[in-house]
Amino acid sequence: MSALLDVIHLKKSFGGLAVTNDVSLSLAPGDRVALIGPNGAGKTTFVNLVTGNLKPDQGRVLIGGEDVSAMKPAERVKRGLIRSFQVTRLFQDMTPEEHVAMAVLQRDGRSGRMFGHYAGKRQVMEEVGSILDLLGLSALAHLKVREIAYGQQRLLEIAVAMALRPKVLLLDEPAAGVPHSETTRIEKALDMLPAELAVLMIDHDMDLVFRFAKRVVVLAAGTVIFDGSPQAVTADQRVREAYLGSYGHAGSAA
Give me the DSSP letters along 165-233: --SEEEEE-TTTT--GGGHHHHHHHHHTS-TT-EEEEE-S-HHHHHHH-SEEEEEETTEEEEEE-HHHH
Report strand pairing: 32-36 vs 215-220: parallel
* pLDDT value of position 81: 95
Distance of CA 189 to the CA centre of its chain: 13
Query: φ, ψ for residue 183 (rounded to 5)?
Result: -65, -20
Rounded percentage of the chain residues whose pLDDT exceeds 70: 89
Has residue 243 got a pLDDT over 80?
A: no
* pLDDT value of position 114: 53
110-169: pLDDT as tens digits: 655 555 566 667 888 899 999 998 888 999 999 999 999 888 898 899 899 888 889 999
Helical ranges in the chain per DSSP H? 43-51, 73-78, 96-107, 122-134, 150-163, 183-191, 206-212, 230-233, 237-239, 246-250
Which residues neighbour 223 within 8 Å (Cβ) at sequence distance 6 or greater?
Answer: 21, 22, 23
C-alpha–C-alpha distance, residues 166 and 158, integer Å: 11
Has residue 87 got a pLDDT over 70?
A: no
Is-contact 28 62, C-beta < 8 A?
A: no
C-alpha–C-alpha distance, residues 223 and 242, integer Å: 11
- Straight-line distance from the first to the last Cα atom of the chain, in angstroms, rounded to the nearest whole number: 27
C-alpha–C-alpha distance, residues 171 and 76, integer Å: 16
- The residue among 84, 69, 108, 79 whose CA lies nearest residue 167 is 79
Q: State the DSSP code for 120.
A: G
* pLDDT value of position 251: 46
C-alpha–C-alpha distance, residues 26 and 77, integer Å: 18
Query: φ, ψ for residue 6 (rounded to 5)?
Result: -125, 120
What residue ranges do the domains of the chain occupy?
1-80+167-179+197-253, 87-165
Q: Write down the mean pLDDT value for the chain.
A: 87
C-alpha–C-alpha distance, residues 114 and 103, integer Å: 10
CATH number of 1-80+167-179+197-253: 3.40.50.300
